[in-house]
Amino acid sequence: MSQDTLRIGVVGGGMFFDDIIGPALRDFQRGGFAGALTSIGMSHFAPRTAAIKVEFAAIGTRTRKKGTADAIRNDFLNEFPDADLTSHYGDTVWREMIADRNLDILVVAGPDDMHHTAIIDALEAGLHVITEKPMCLHTAEADAVVAAAERAGRIVAVDMHKRYDPFIRDMMTNSLPAYNRIHRVRAVLEEPLEVATETFAWVERSNPFAYVGCHWLDVIGHYMDVKPRAIYATGEKMLLENWDRYRYEIAILRGQNPDDAKRHDKIHAWDSLNVNITYDNGMRGDFNNTWINPADFEGAVNQELEVYGVLGRGLVDQQDRGFREAVTGAGSRTKNPTFGGRIRNMGHHAELFGYGKASLAAGLLAIARVKFLREPAQGLAGSYPEAASQRSVTMVIEAATRVAELNYEHFQERGVAPVTAALT
C-alpha cells in the first residue's frame, strides 16, 4: 500500500451520504483533497498534501434488504472501474470493515445514537475518524471518545460544517469585533417534516436540537470562546405524536394519498426544542430547532444566526443569500449552493463545492498532518472540529434534552415548566 494513500471506509448510506459525502469522495478519489483547502483557509498545506491519494475502500450499512451498500458500490464503480471498493452489512458493520479492509479512516455517518460505539472501535483499532454531528448524545460518551483519541494519538474530526459557511465565518471573524460586547445570540435551524417522517427511522432516539442545534453550539463556542453555564429548555410534542391523524390532513391538503406515507403510526419524538443558554460571559443564547417544517417552505431548511452587540448586530439568514427561483409545477424556492453546489467540469463529471465538502477536507487535512507530516494530534486543536471541542456541545445536548423532558412532564401535570440546569 502506498505510503501517501488514505483508505476510507464509510458507515451509513443515507441522505447526507448522497448529498455530500459520496460526491466529495468522488472528487477526492479523482484529485485528492489539497484543492479544497483554500475553502478552509489552509491552502498553505496544499503543496505538502497534493500527492496524497484518497481511496474509497469500503461502504457499510445495517440491513442487506435494501441493498444500499451494494448500490453505492456499483454506482461508484461505474465511474471508477478499477477502484478497490467493497460493500458490507450488519448491525456493527464497521467491525468487519475495520478487520478486513486495511482502512486508515472510518467515516461515521449513521444514526446519532450509534456514533460513539463505532468511533471507539475505530480508535482502538488504530484508525482515524471523521464523524457526522453530533459526536455523541451523552457526556460520558464524549469523555470516552476524547480519552480514546488521546491514548491512540488519532484524529476524531466532527463534521461541523457550519464553521465553514462563508457567510457565518465572515460575520463571526471579520464583523464581530465591531459589534463590541455581545449580549445575545439567536440561532434557528429548522428541518423539513420529511426528515422526521420519511428520511430517518431513528428520530425517536434523538431530537431536533441534538440533530441540528449542535451546529450553532459549535459555531458559538468556536468563534466566541464562551462556555455554557446554565440551561432552560422546553419543547413541543403535537404533530409527530399525532402523526397517525395528521398524516391524513397533510396529504389531502397536498393532493396526495395518505396511505402512501412511509410512517402511519404515532412518532414518539419532539416536534421542536427551544433552548436558552447563559454563557460564562453573561451572554444569552436562544436556540430554536424543529424537524417539522412544511414541505411547502421556500428553502430546504430554515437557518438564521443573529448576533446582538452593544454597538452593532449581524444576521445571516439562509433565505436572504440571493438565489430564488420559481419553476412551473415546482413552486418558488430559495437555494444555498454555498453548502453543496455542483460545477460541471467541461461537460464531464460534476464537482462538488461548498462548506459541506470543506468540512470533510478539514478532517482529512488534520489526519494527513498526523499520518504523513508527523505532527502530534494534540497540537492541532482548534484547526478543525476536534473531539475535545465537542464535549461542551454534548453536555448541552444531554442537559437540554433532560430539562425539556422534565418541563414537559411538569407542564402536563401542573401547567408549569420550572426546571433549569447548571453546567459545570
Determine how β-strand 284-293 pairs with β-strand 302-309.
Answer: unpaired
Would the pLDDT of 420 be above 60? yes
Nearest alpha-carbon partner for 107 in 36, 156, 54, 145: 156
Q: What is the Cα–Cα distance from 278 to 423, expressed in whole angstroms?
A: 10
Could you tell me the residue ranges of all domains in the chain? Answer: 5-161+341-386, 163-336
Q: What is the Cα–Cα distance from 56 to 306, expressed in whole angstroms?
A: 39
What is the pLDDT averaged over residues 116-127?
A: 98
Residue 329, pLDDT score = 85
| Strand partners of residue 284 | 184, 278
Contact yes or no for 202/111 (Cβ under 8 A): yes
Residue 80, pLDDT score = 97
Instruction: Quick: pLDDT tens for 299-345.
Output: 889 999 999 999 999 999 988 887 889 999 888 888 889 999 999 87
Residue 331, pLDDT score = 85
Q: Tell me if residue 276 falls in helix, strand or coil.
A: strand
| DSSP 8-state class, residue 349 | P
CATH class of 5-161+341-386: alpha beta
Instruction: Quick: pLDDT tens for 175-215.
Output: 999 999 999 999 999 999 999 999 999 999 999 999 999 99
Residue 347, pLDDT score = 67
Residue 250, pLDDT score = 95
Nearest alpha-carbon partner for 107 in 5, 23, 11: 11
Residue 299, pLDDT score = 87
Q: How many CB atoms lie within 10 A of CB 267?
A: 19
pLDDT more than 90, % of the chain? 92
Q: What is the DSSP string of 68-93?
A: HHHHHHHHHHHH-TT---EEEESTTH
Instruction: Quick: pLDDT tens for 130-165.
Output: 999 999 999 999 999 999 999 999 999 999 999 999
| Res. 3 pLDDT band, cuts 50 70 90 | low
| Res. 65 pLDDT band, cuts 50 70 90 | very high
Instruction: Quick: pLDDT tens for 293-303.
Output: 999 998 889 99
Residue 349, pLDDT score = 84
Contact yes or no for 356/24 (Cβ under 8 A): yes
Would the pLDDT of 401 be above 70? yes
| 346: CB partners within 8 A, 6+ apart | none
Residue 105, pLDDT score = 99
Element (DSSP H or E) covering residue 414? helix 391-414
| Strand partners of residue 188 | 288, 304
Q: What is the Cα–Cα distance from 175 to 255, expressed in whole angstroms?
A: 46
| 72: CB partners within 8 A, 6+ apart | 13, 17, 22, 59, 87
Mean pLDDT for the chain overall: 96
pLDDT more than 70, % of the chain? 99
Domains 5-161+341-386 and 163-336 share a fold: no
Q: Which three cell numbers stand for residue 216?
A: 450553532
Instruction: Please confirm whether the linkage preceding 134 is cis (ω < 30° from 0).
Output: yes
Residue 233, pLDDT score = 99
Instruction: Quick: pLDDT tens for 43-52.
Output: 999 999 999 9
Q: What is the Cα–Cα distance from 282 to 90, expressed in whole angstroms?
A: 47
**Cell 456493527, residue located:** 92
Residue 2, pLDDT score = 46
| Res. 424 pLDDT band, cuts 50 70 90 | confident
Instruction: Quick: pLDDT tens for 340-380.
Output: 999 987 767 889 999 999 999 999 999 999 999 999 999 99
> Which CATH entry fits the domain spanning 163-336: 3.40.190.80, 3.30.360.10, 1.10.40.30, 3.40.50.300?
3.30.360.10
Q: Tell me if residue 305 falls in helix, strand or coil.
A: strand
Q: What is the Cα–Cα distance from 244 to 266, expressed in whole angstroms?
A: 5
CA–CA distances in Å: residue 17 to residues 110, 263, 382: 10, 22, 26
| 233: CB partners within 8 A, 6+ apart | 209, 273, 274, 275, 276, 399, 400, 401, 403, 404, 407
Q: What is the Cα–Cα distance from 224 to 307, expressed in whole angstroms?
A: 11
